[in-house]
Structure 1
Amino acid sequence: MAERYSSFKVGGRRWLWQRITAAFLVAVLAFHFFLLHFVNHADEVTFGMSQGRMQELTYFSLMILFLLTATFHGVNGVYNALVNQGLSGTQETAVKAVLGVASIVLIVQGVRTALAWAGGVPI
């Protein structure tokens, strides 16, 4: 029988959060496809319509939550894939730091863009 091989610790929270964020991302993507491909066809969507949606607190909050969830899910997945490939020691610490900084930059720029799109703050 194959041996269990994963960088996730048995009973660890990162494993659980990876699954929870995956489920959330699938649900939000389903909402996106329904909204932009069935309710409104993609060729009918304008910048003004998108800006109008971003000005609604519910939609804006969902997009910010999507940004945070996707960032965590992606960075956690990349980190664990690298650890599964044998990354350890100083290299692991460096990759963790780079991924952490990249996450912060992505989130800050994503929030700035969302605020500008909602008419709150210019980019």
Structure 2
Amino acid sequence: MAEHYSSFEPKGTRWLLQRITAVFLVAVLAYHFMLLHFVNHAAEITFAGTQARMSEVGYFITMVLFLIAGAFHGVNGVYNALVNQGLKGTQKTVVKWLLIVAGALLIVQGIRVAIAMTGLF
């Protein structure tokens, strides 16, 4: 039988955060679909409605946390998939930092857009 290998340290912090972010992402995605596809149908979604939703503090915080959780979950998942495929040494370090920078830029730009969507600034 083949040995199971994972770059995640069992019960480590990144392992735990990957699972927590997965649960959070599924829950918020379900909320998103309920709100924007069943309560309000896609054809009814407007820029003004988006601004109204983003102006609500709870919704804004939820969407920013969704962005951060999604970026972490994706970057961490890609990194670990590459490590599981045999990425080592200098390449591993370079890829890790490229993914960290890309994730950070994604979060910064996403927060800028979220703030702009509030219509307050």
Fold-level match, TM-score > 0.5? yes
Distance 2:18 2:55 in 1: 30
Output the amino acid matched with 1:57: V
Structure 1 segments of 4 or more deviating over 4 A? none
User: Which residue of the partner structure matches residue 86 of structure 2?
Assistant: 86
Unpaired segments ≥5 residues, structure 1: none
1:4 alignment partner in structure 2: 4
Asked if 1:97 corresponds to 2:101, the answer is no
Distance 1:10 1:30 in 2: 28
- Residue type of the alignment partner of 1:90: T
Aligned residues: 121
- Specify the code of the residue in structure 1 equivalent to 2:46: T
Gaps of 5+ in 2: none
Matches within 5 A, 1:1-123: 1-121=1-121
TM-score normalised by the chain length of structure 2: 0.96
Please report the TM-score for the alignment, with normalisation by the length of structure 1. 0.95
Higher relative contact order structure (alpha carbons within 8 Å, sequence separation ≥ 6)? 2
Partner of 1:9, secondary structure, is: coil
User: Identity across aligned pairs (percent)?
Assistant: 66
Deviations 1:43-64 (A, max 9, x none): 1111100110000000000000
